[in-house]
Amino acid sequence: MDSQLTHPTYKFVDEKEAEGIAWAFVDANNMKRLPFKFPEIKANEARAKITYTGLCFSDCHTVRGDWHKCSYPIAPGHEITGVITHVGADVKDFKVGDKVGFGCQRECCEECEFCKINVEQLCTSDKVDQKFTYADKYWGGYASHIQHPAKFFFKLPEGIPEERIPPLFCAGVTTFSPIARYAKAGNEVAVLGVGGLGHLAVQYAKAWGCKVTAFTSTKDKEAFIKSLGADRVVLTDDESLKQEAGKYNLVLNTLPEGQKLNSYVGLTRPLGTFCQMGVPDFSKPSPFNPAILIFGQINFVGSLIGSRKDIQETLEFSAKHNIVPMCEQFDFEDFPKAYDRLLNGRPQFRCVVNASNVKLNN
């Protein structure tokens, strides 16, 4: 037990008393293994023993304070699979023993204009007790157990290896949703960047019936990218971007940097849609010229995870077409190594930690 650390929700205890063990950041650069106890389970909540948890680069942005001030200690993580161990008195859709997943969102008001049209990821209520999975008050999947409102748990699809499912709750739904929303079979679709998001976007767009062109900065990845389903592979250099301008009904940009945004948007054909998915560094202004949107009547949109309906459709489509992320696997005790691989390495393409063997004494 670490007597120097406190948290508004979780009580830090000796491991023999613990209901969960978290790998929590105690500052921007250091993780610590922290045994803890949950508060009493609420009537609308469920608790799950985590089996696998994915790591996302947005976790890095959060703990480093890139987007907003971070309160420590914090255990990130929003790509989670597990098994239900406890349910609150009012929970009807889940029972102990159910295999479940949990994503980026933990709560919504159900009453605002966006919740009423099933885009609850845009919930505007200021009365919600922490909207996203991890922040100041509640923690996410960098742990052995989670406890959150049951309405944001999902039954796992059959036919997909469980250790490959976690990234579908973030990278999967973020890339599948705009394809389902804006693409039609036969459309020309461009995917910019074939990494953690892009390698899924290529597979989804191809399974949707689109003609897929993948843009990459690495020439020797062509054979691999085509094996994912891409019809064409183009190098992301200035000359190629000029030659490909105006060809694509839908452009999916997974790249976070904004310095070439004019050229990227220029790939979109008139009346087409450009979707930004990679989150840029807020401190670096982008030299984007919006005139390109005007003269092509281009729709410029973003993709923020997805609603519960979007997540369910992503899981079902992934299972139907056997679309799974490529993941590097790590043991629970190697959580710091997995995070370092994500932050400083180039994983192929997602990092997933196996928490299934973590056993507690109580």
171-302 maps to CATH 3.30.1360.120: no
pLDDT-derived band at 4 (thresholds 50, 70, 90) equals: confident
CATH of 11-169+307-354, one of 3.30.360.10, 3.90.180.10, 3.40.50.2300, 1.10.275.10: 3.90.180.10
CA–CA dist 86, 248 (Å, integer): 49
Q: pLDDT tens, 179-196?
A: 999 999 999 999 999 999
pLDDT-derived band at 286 (thresholds 50, 70, 90) equals: confident
Q: For residues 71 and 280, which has the higher predicted lDDT (pLDDT)?
A: 71
Q: Is the pLDDT confidence value at 2 over 70?
A: no
Structure-token pair, residue 128: 């919600």
Q: What is the mean pLDDT of residues 270-292?
A: 88
Q: Do domains 11-169+307-354 and 171-302 have the same CATH topology?
A: no
Q: Is the pLDDT confidence value at 1 over 60?
A: no
pLDDT-derived band at 361 (thresholds 50, 70, 90) equals: confident
Tell me the pTM: 0.95
Tokens 């459309």, located at residue: 187
Q: Is the pLDDT confidence value at 89 over 90?
A: yes
SS (H, E, C) the chain: CCCCCCCCCCEECCHHHCCEEEEEECCCCCEEEEEEECCCCCCCEEEEEEEEEEECHHHHHHHHCCCCCCCCCECCCCEEEEEEEEECCCCCCCCCCCEEEECCECCCCCCCCCHHHCCHHHCCCCCCCCCECCCCCCCCCCECEEEEEHHHEEECCCCCCHHHCHHHHCHHHHHHHHHHHHCCCCCEEEEECCCCCHHHHHHHHHHCCCEEEEEECCHHHHHHHHHCCCCEEEECCHHHHHHCCCCEEEEEECCCCCCCHHHHHCCEEEEEEEEECCCCCCCCCCCCCCHHHHHHCCEEEECCCCCHHHHHHHHHHHHHHCCCCCEEEEEHHHHHHHHHHHHHCCCCCEEEEECCCCCCCC
Output phi, psi for 245, to 5 deg: -60, 140
Q: pLDDT tens, 16-38?
A: 999 999 999 999 999 999 999 99
Burial track 253-266 (b if 16+ CB lie within 10 A, e otherwise): bbbbebebbbbbbb
Q: What is the mean pLDDT of residues 326-349?
A: 96
pLDDT of residue 256: 87
Return the sign of the alpha-carbon dihedral for residues 110, 279, 203, 168. negative
Output phi, psi for 241, to 5 deg: -60, -35
Structure-token pair, residue 224: 């691999």
Domain residue spans of the chain: 11-169+307-354, 171-302
